[in-house]
Amino acid sequence: MDRLGIDFISVFGMPPVAFVELAADLGVARIGLGPRPLVVNPGVYPDWSLVDDAALRREVKAALAANAVSIAIAEACLLFPGGDVRDTAPALDVLAELGAPCANIASLDPDRQRTFDQCALYAEMAEARGMRSTVEFAPMLGVPDLATARALVRHVDRPGFAILVDMLHLARSGGTTADLLALDPGEVGHIQLCDGLLEWTMDSYMHEAAAERLCPGTGQFPLAEWLAALPGTVSIGLEMPMQARALAGDAPGDWLGPCVTAARALMAEADGLRR
């Protein structure tokens, strides 16, 4: 199984049919997809909504089939303080219809108990649609680190609910190889791959997370070691936004093509370490 994909914010607000075609052109058979543009859109694409546009849903479904591309993970919920995950039902319906096997949630709600309870409800909603679910941790989120994410998995207590491990957030939250080795294989539901520098500030981190990540192998993270510590069967998505290049007029394929090549080499290196 080819585990490598391109995750959603790597292409900013690129329309989904074009995203599917780009993935196929780069030899990648998996993508991450959300119901509408997420986090950052540098203004180079028109807005779109899979929830509101039935014709677009049909076009995406046809493009996925024609290009032999599938959705690895749905970026379906960003929970804000006081928000309710039940509001994501239309997005979950649409992404389940398009074949997404897993739906991610990230919480901006600082209330830990509320975040935990909302994530449990989200996992139940995903399961009712035949989907697994994951939670993303990051220092700026309601689930700030891997230890809290593990506690959340125990709280939810559903076999289809696991952790999304983003290499940038792992590094910035102080995660280590030993922390990854301590995970049970079933605790990991998806991996997001990028590189970064070891020196950082919170301001620089917020910018790199949303807009400027480094191609695997061009930074200082021990990526091969980290990948080798994680299950060898879990889907991997390149999380590679490069906003400066997008604003300069470069097409996403210009930066993602080298990243795909680098990621495949890194995955092979990790497989060698795992053996």
pLDDT digits (tens, 9 = 90+) for 208-235: 999 999 999 999 999 999 999 999 999 9
Instruction: Say how many C-beta atoms besides its own lie within 10 A of residue 157's C-beta.
Output: 9
Cα separation, 275 vs 266, in Å, equals: 14
Asked whether 108 and 141 are in contact (CB, 8 A), the reply is yes
Name the one residue in this structure whose structure tokens are 């910035």.
Answer: 172
Residue among 56, 57, 42 at smallest CA distance from 10: 42
Rg of the chain (C-alpha set): 17
Give residue 40's pLDDT.
58
pLDDT beyond 80 at 266: yes
Task: Name the pTM for this structure.
Answer: 0.96
Give residue 39's pLDDT.
58
Q: Which residue has the higher pLDDT, 134 or 39?
A: 134
Give residue 41's pLDDT.
59
- 215 Ramachandran zone, left/alpha/beta (phi>0; psi -120 to 50): beta
Question: pLDDT tens digit string along 76-89?
Answer: 999 999 999 999 99
How many contiguous H segments (helices) and E segments (strands) does the chain have? 11, 8
pLDDT beyond 70 at 155: yes
Q: What is the mean pLDDT of residues 242-264?
A: 94
Residue among 157, 119, 130, 167 at smallest CA distance from 7: 167
Q: How far is CA 182 from CA 99, 164, 229, in A?
A: 32, 15, 9
CATH class for domain 4-274? Answer: alpha beta
